[in-house]
Amino acid sequence: MKLGDISVSYLLSLRAAITQLQLDPTPLLERFGITETLLSEPHARISIARFMRLGNAAIRYTQNPAIGLLMGAQSQLSHQGLAGMTAQCAPTLEDAFNVMVKYERLTSQNYRGHSSFCAPALRFYSIAPYNMFNLFVVDSALASRAQTANQMTGGQAKLREVHIEFPAPTYAARYEALFQCPVLFSQAHNQLLWEPRSLALQPVQSAPGHYQHLLTLCEQRLHELTRQRGLRERVESIVAPQLHQRLPGIMEVAQQLGLPSWTLRRRLQQEDHTRFQDIIDDIRRELAVSYIRDTELALGEITFLLGFSSPEAFQRAFKRWTGSAPGSYRRALLGEGKRSEGVER
């Protein structure tokens, strides 16, 4: 159980953004193990946590806090693989957005939530509370969606508003310059609100025959990925997004999986030698370590995200899992990171 992963093809736009700033992206990418060989692999992915660390390092490397916006502006439909090429051939922009959301898992997987489209709102999910790690992710995601819509329609698609969950950052003026519409911060969702007429636009490369064929390929690929998911992973995908709300019980999860609760218990025991409660505990442990290691979230924020009743309860659980208090664990990792950076330099 991890935060999720994304296709390495998304890093092509980060590389282009750094190059646009007249800097060499190679040292930064190589520091994170991103090589030309890896970028050439069709199904290669990196963890979201690693992507977040890379984005934060890119901000420091370029001295540009808006690098996520620049990255999104360099996005290409081809970076979205099969889903992007299918969207490009769609009959309308609305159809294209539906494709991008439905087949998002072909290039990315976030275990805490997913993008959605309910016309005219194209939404992007991100963990909260926010810091420079996930601000970068939201910036790049929203900017890339706006960029690809402009590519598909030859610049005709128009945004009505952009909503962003976090408060206005220091570089807030750059948002309206990029999106060419009002941008509202501290909103309920990260979303692009499109002019309704734009959704009816036909993409410039619309091709009905190819579209139907590509849809079939997308469905086949999604089926392959879904089939490879074990029962435990399917349970995790239901439970993880709700940790900070009301945790679903085994009967509710079984219902969503189309199984009687006793069948779910039996199959978990047969396939993974585990219990439903063990899965919840494992999710919390692995996410806790990931949040401590890969983000700058405060301990109180992590307590909320993992659904613990109090910071004390979280700290006791973390020490039971790792042998260290969360603050000590983070400080030790920061010390190791600084020593590693010193060696790299």
Over the stretch 29-63, which tens digit does the pLDDT of each residue have? 999 999 999 999 988 998 887 898 899 999 999 99
The type of residue at 326 is P
**Segment 62-104, tens digit of pLDDT:** 999 999 999 999 999 999 999 999 999 999 999 999 999 999 9
Q: Are residues 248 and 210 in the same domain?
A: no
Domain end, chosen from 192, 224, 256, is at 224
Are 254 and 321 found together in one domain? yes
Give the range of the structural domain holding residue 43, as residue numbers without chain letter: 4-224
Shared-domain flag, residues 208 and 251: no
173 and 248 fall within a common domain = no
C-alpha closest to that of 142 among 234, 56, 59, 75: 75
Taking only the tens place, the pLDDT of each residue in 271-284 is 878 899 888 888 88
Query: Which positions ≥6 away from 168 have C-beta within 8 Å?
Result: 185, 186
Q: State yes or no: pLDDT of 242 exceeds 80.
A: no
Q: Mark whether 78 and 217 lie in a shared domain.
A: yes
pTM: 0.75
In the three-class reduction of DSSP (H, G, I as helix; E, B as strand; rest coil), residue 256 is classed as helix
The answer to whether residues 62 and 104 belong to one domain is yes
pLDDT bin (cut points 50, 70, 90) of residue 300 is confident
Report the sign of the C-alpha dihedral through residues 342, 327, 48, 125, in that order.
Answer: negative
**Domain match, 204 and 242 both:** no
Q: What is the residue-averaged pLDDT of the chain?
A: 88
Q: Point out the domain boundary residue: 224, 243, 278.
A: 224
Q: Are residues 203 and 272 in the same domain?
A: no
pLDDT digits (tens, 9 = 90+) for 139-192: 999 999 999 999 999 999 999 999 999 999 999 999 999 999 999 999 999 999
Q: Which of these three, 205, 224, 243, is where a domain ends?
A: 224
pLDDT in tens, 327-343: 899 888 777 554 444 43
Q: Decide if pLDDT at 228 tops 60.
A: no
Is the same domain home to 156 and 299? no
User: Is 177 buried (19+), middle (13-18) or exposed (0-12) by CB count in 10 A?
Assistant: exposed
Structural domain count, the chain: 2
> Do residues 214 and 240 share a domain?
no
204 with 283, same domain: the answer is no
Integer Cα distance of 311 and 304 in angstroms = 8
Residues 6+ apart with CB under 8 A from 296: 131, 132, 133
Identify the CATH number of the domain in which residue 304 sits: 1.10.10.60
* Same-domain check for residues 287 and 256: yes
